[in-house]
Every structure is written in C-alpha cells, then in structure tokens.
C-alpha cells in the first residue's frame, strides 16, 4: 500500500498570509507513460463532504479560487494557499489514486492565527 | 448539475447487515467508476471500495474484503454498498464519490455525496 504522510498535522496562519501543506508518498505516484502524478488535494469543512481542489498534482478544479495551487512530483507534493481567507479554515487531505488501495494522508487542520 | 444522494444509514447491532444506496443525477452514470469512502467520527478519510463503470470490476480495502459488497444498477443510476458482519469499528459516515473521468475508475473524486452515518453498537 502507498502510505501518504502530511505535514504539519495542524497549522495556524494569519489572514492574508500564505499556508503551505506538504504531502509525501511512500512510493512514486508518477505514471511514466503519461507523465502524470496521480495526486489530488481535498478540502473538508465541518459537516460537509470533501471538496476536490487540485488533481494531477497541480491542476486546479473548476471554480476553485486561484489562491489555491499544487506543486511537486514523484513522492513530494505541496498545497499552497496564498492570501488566506477566513473561509479557508478546514481540514485538507492529499490522496493518491495511482494504485489500489487508494489512500489519503491523515489530514492537516488549518486555522486562523 | 451532478448530484449524489446517499441513503440507508442507521444504527445496527454488531454482526448485522445494512445496505447503503447512492442515487446519481445530472450525469451519464454508466460512464463512470464509483467509489465508497468512509470517515469514522473525528477521524480521516478511508477508501472502502470501487466499482467500474460497467459493474464488472470491484476492488475492496482489506479492512472490508469479504464482508462488504459494492454493486450498481446503471438502469437506475444507483450505487450500492452491502455491509455484512458489521463491527463496531465500521461506525462511520459513508460517502459515495464519482471518479473524475470517463473510463478507468483510477481517477480523483470530483463529486461526493453528503454521506450516510452508520453506527454499529449493541
């Protein structure tokens, strides 16, 4: 199984500042034939299902504000939230869909400082 | 727009069974692989199972293999999860989720249902 490890577990950032969440996979999720990283990021607010933010490691889902961006390849990935807004308070998960079992990181709780 | 409406959750005793449903609308259901993901109270996300668009392929997490069965009825645009031999550790909100692209089920999940709470308790 591919183990996904996020850091930090929780994060407090001031409004308007940048938040950075890291995700490391225990093996590469880069599929060489199409050169795509099978890595997604989700945002989950209390009482709601997760919402897709980023897929293929860096492609922003339609309707997601451009302050959200994803980067990285292979085994190391980053979700960056620029100019943090109050509505960004949530738990963020990375996910690999390279192989089954599909696995998620443990989650990173983002709060306002 | 795409909607996934989950139902069938409830309180059940250990060892008993339950069936969850997920009714899809706003999409050509038989084009997409579908997944179940669960979340225990206060915990993270755990993938449970996937079924291919044509229903011929199912893959399960080891934690549910042999106890849970994923199925679909494309004529009714509905996904199912049959939960047998339930354990207290199966207590969770169960979400259905749609694969993000036509064809293979190995994609990100672009739409999620609201979730159905299953509580296993004596």
Percent of chain B with pLDDT over 90: 94
Q: Which residues of A touch B107 (CB under 8 A)?
A: 55, 97
For the beta carbon of residue A84, count every other beta carbon within 10 angstroms.
20
Confidence of residue A8 (pLDDT cuts 50, 70, 90): very high
Q: How far apart, in whole angstroms, are the C-alpha atoms of residue B93 and residue B2?
A: 21
pLDDT digits (tens, 9 = 90+) for A48-82: 999 999 999 999 999 999 999 999 999 999 999 99
- Across chain B, mean pLDDT equals 96
The nearest alpha carbon in chain A to B38 belongs to: A49
Whether the per-residue pLDDT at B106 is higher than 90: the answer is no
Average pLDDT value for residue range B36-54? 97
Whether the per-residue pLDDT at A42 is higher than 90: the answer is yes
CA dihedral A66, B46, B100, B67 (to 10 degrees): -170
Q: Which residue has the tokens 């990283």?
A: A37
Confidence of residue B105 (pLDDT cuts 50, 70, 90): confident
In the prediction, which pLDDT does B35 show? 98
Test mutation, A48, A98, A102, A105, chain B, max B CBs within 10 A? A102
Q: How far apart, in whole angstroms, are the C-alpha atoms of residue A85 and residue B118?
A: 34
């Amino acid at each position: 199984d591919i183990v996904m490890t996020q850091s930090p577990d929780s994060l407090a950032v001031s409004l308007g500042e940048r938040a950075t969440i890291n995700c490391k996979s225990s093996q590469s999720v880069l599929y060489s034939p199409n050169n795509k990283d099978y890595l997604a990021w989700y945002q989950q607010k209390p009482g709601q299902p997760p919402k897709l933010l980023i897929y293929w490691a860096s492609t922003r889902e339609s309707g997601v504000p451009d302050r959200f961006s994803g980067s990285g390849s292979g085994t190391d990935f980053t979700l960056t939230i620029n100019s943090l807004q109050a509505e960004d308070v949530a738990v963020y998960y990375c996910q690999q869909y390279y192989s089954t079992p599909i696995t998620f990181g443990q989650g990173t709780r983002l709060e306002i400082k | 727009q795409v909607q996934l409406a989950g139902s069938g959750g409830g309180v059940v005793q250990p060892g008993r069974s339950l069936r969850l449903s997920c009714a899809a609308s706003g999409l050509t259901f038989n084009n997409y692989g579908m997944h179940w993901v669960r979340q225990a109270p206060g915990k993270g996300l755990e993938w449970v199972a996937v079924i291919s668009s044509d229903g011929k392929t199912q893959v399960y997490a080891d934690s549910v293999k042999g106890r849970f069965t994923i199925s679909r009825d494309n004529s009714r645009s509905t996904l199912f999860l049959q939960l047998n031999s339930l354990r207290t550790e199966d207590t969770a909100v169960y979400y259905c989720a749609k694969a993000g692209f036509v064809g293979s089920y190995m994609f990100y999940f672009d739409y999620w249902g609201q979730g159905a709470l299953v509580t296993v308790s004596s």
